[in-house]
Structure 1
């Protein structure tokens, strides 16, 4: 069960980018104005700094997942507790992803379809692919990720008539350096997909490529987010982009080719669904793997169906009670807290303990 560096880059890139292709949270991140693109660029070094502890330890223990090396460093009890937290964060994040996908489908295509029907169809598909394993997901990424990127690029090119770049001016006139830095840190911390990379590390064909995979994934995903943000803002306007639930989808509906090609936005919807299915499948698979490595009982495939049922029940309970994107501010706060915990606090603790215990740990490894 090994995958190539190229396949991993594709997976991590689309896992991060697909959320922006859905509801574009960066437009509501400080400074929340025409200077958001500057904030996105500034988030690159912050992402590298914040992810350093996980990246360092994943390189040091490249035969182990983040769950396994955390237990090795922290000891059995603390290691299992921290591993369980990682697994729960992957599960909770996937619940939000499924819920937002279902809400998007209800808005764009199936307004009268019950939540349980839409969510069941999506999750059955994802569970089936996840059950097939990592290699089929990785091979599939070689097809569906380029397809999504090509579709996005086509819409960006076709939408040129709607662009008004003057909305991005004047640069830095309405933003404080403090706000841009704050937004850059928020964006960097939301790179929760570093945990997925830390789960994939032992299965890489070339484990020495881990740093290269990380850097390229960060640059490629943020480049996509940057382009999507700019074209959305210059097409819809700064304020409308902030208050639209699905900004990039709204942008695609503005495109009209020769006045006779109707609903070209359907092509985007297809690519968007495929991308979300890919991300949900990946997070479902790695959630199952994480719980399996925490509890060390049975095969990880045995956890896929129970986790799928938990996600389905949670989505139905949440979505039928309240619009998920209607409280996206709260969701973003929850995701931020989970990200700070899983990318900042837990890895830093593990990193520090490793340096205190590295001689003992290295001897145990020998």
Structure 2
């Protein structure tokens, strides 16, 4: 039985957090013992323990927005020595046969594992391509210590190799495996073109997720005579209270009042998806898009931004509709098509459900990740 030490930056339960759960399931099913290290206690901890991992909460550096500057990264690097030494000692004491560093926001784990003489698998969930090249180069530099890198999309791999091209031979793409509902979803409700049109969105309340775009699209639909409403499931990162306040103010304006529900964090989201006539993922940037796959699993027609990983997940006009990001008019236009043509919406949803089951199963994902770990251990 090999011992795998997994490091992860967040105790929350969003996309990369749930993907870690699937990874750990795959490793334990393959016969490995898994220890997980997180910097804070939170709702992810009992989920990981239920999956079979041993969890320790201990302090380590997690990159936040405040550090995303040349000066911030330089200062962080200058202070890295003691933390790398501490993590190296921890890795050795744990008896780990392999370290899995989950996301690029925990920079010193790959470096410490390499220093401890332990193979390193890094899992990249980011596709940052808008920051200055110097920042992106520094952010990804610790991955030079990894033996193998898994990127969750072609977009994430391209963003990484754009600043660290020497990692090309070590970096492969493994799309996320996304769990479907525990039972077959309720059929998409029968509705006429003039009936109320209920839209759902699942995701963090952050500008990157484009919640504001969704609100403006609903306002446009209502102005066009579509009886549209929107339910948003998600909460903020600390520091984004201003964004939630702006969303609530906009949702209370006369043209939207009573037709937008900001429901906060919701889990499971299947009941919300089942109530929807369409689901939107209007992200400005999205390395993969678990919520898009969940909409497909729920057999609900999907409209998503044509960005990064979403363009890999959704086949436009076949398993969903892709629209230009940051365009309420484009989003409203696609949603209006679905509202006016319920049969076309149902056909889109049916094809999406088939695609999600075939391409993004958790069983296939778990087996693939376990195979990558087995290969590294053999080496």
Which structure has the highest strand share of the two? 2
TM-score higher than 0.5 here? Answer: no
TM (norm. structure 2) is: 0.23
TM-score, length-scaled by structure 1? 0.24
Greater relative contact order structure (CA < 8 Å, 6+ sep): 1
Pick the structure with more helix per residue. Answer: 1
